[in-house]
């Protein structure tokens, strides 16, 4: 994916957000932002114990995907005014 198509995707995402209640957007973005910061700490136990079993690998991939979604949603969080 090129950077221009990534920017277009983010622009489309931001354009679709006004369909939701405007008062909820800062809260959703804030929660997603802080979730994206906290999730990597959950990687550590999985990496320390090793990714030997299938369930551990699935859990690790699920955490990475969830982290990417949280980063995508929370990317425009600006903090309290």
Alpha-carbon distance 56 to 54, whole Å? 5
Residue 11 located in a structural domain: no
Structure confidence at residue 3 (pLDDT): 59
Does residue 17 belong to any structural domain of this protein?
A: no
For 25, the token pair is 């957007």
Instruction: Report the C-alpha gap between 75 and 63 in whole angstroms.
Output: 18
Average pLDDT per 10 consecutive residues for the chain, totaling 81 residues: 67 64 80 92 90 90 93 83 59
Question: Considering the domain boundaries, does residue 4 fall inside one?
Answer: no
Question: Does 75 map to a domain?
Answer: yes
Q: What is the pLDDT of residue 81?
A: 59
Yes or no: say if 42 and 63 are a contact pair by the CB < 8 Å rule. Answer: yes
Residue 53 lies in a domain: yes
Nearest-5° angle of CA 77, CA 45, CA 79? 10
Secondary structure class of 6 (helix, strand, coil): helix
Domains held by the chain: number: 1
Distances (CA, A) of 77 to 34, 36, 68, 70, 81: 9, 11, 15, 11, 11
pTM of model > 0.75: no
48, part of any domain: yes
Domain that holds residue 50: 22-81
């Amino acid at each position: 994916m090129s950077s221009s198509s990534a920017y277009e995707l983010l622009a489309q995402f931001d354009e679709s957000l006004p369909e939701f209640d405007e008062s909820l957007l800062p809260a959703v973005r804030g929660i997603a932002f802080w979730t994206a910061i906290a999730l990597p700490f959950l990687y550590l136990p999985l990496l320390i114990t090793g990714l030997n079993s299938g369930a551990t690998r699935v859990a690790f991939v699920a955490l990475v995907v969830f982290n990417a979604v949280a980063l995508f949603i929370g990317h425009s969080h600006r903090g309290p005014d």
